[in-house]
Amino acid sequence: MKKLFLLLIFISSLAFGQFTIKDSSDNWEKVGNAYAHTILYQRNDKTKAKIEYRDFQSFNLLQVNNLDLSYYTFEFSTNADTLENIYQIFKEHFETKKEETITLEFPEGNMILEFDKAIGGFYGNFKFDKVNNLIDKGDRSIRTAGALNMKQLNKLFGKK
């Protein structure tokens, strides 16, 4: 009887153990998206943001059966104006058409903003350093979110 009683106590402690809610989708507000390949979210308290993206360096049309269409996430700490400051960097580079690579350091890892010209057009690009422990697939050190024009960046940052 004593063993049965101990077993019931053990099972009830597992079933009714204490837990805390770490995060909820209700804590995140979608800022915008560039089609379905890059989506920007910000926490309601404006302390964090995250970018969900597909890694476009893994796309190889010659190996259709090995396409990686999964989403990756880069979550980073923010202040109230961090996203606006990142948007302004993009906007200034599109106005001046300056080709440059800028590295933004966050405690969670590096965000690399790449600006370049290709096929007669100017584009901006997000890259994320593997310092971020959320990037765990494959062996490359940098993941690329894909080239964006200014219209797509406006949608991503929720601008009209």
86-101 pLDDT, tens digit per residue, is: 999 999 999 999 999 9
> Is the predicted pLDDT of residue 23 greater than 80, yes or no?
no
- The tens digit of pLDDT for each residue in 110-144 reads 899 999 998 889 999 998 876 545 445 555 567 88
User: What is the pLDDT averaged over residues 45-64?
Assistant: 74
Measured distance CA(138)–CA(112) in Å, rounded: 19
Helices (H) and strands (E) in the chain, counts: 3, 8
Domain boundaries, the chain: 26-156
pTM for the complete prediction? 0.73
Topology (CATH) of 26-156: Transcriptional Co-activator pc4; Chain A (2.30.31)
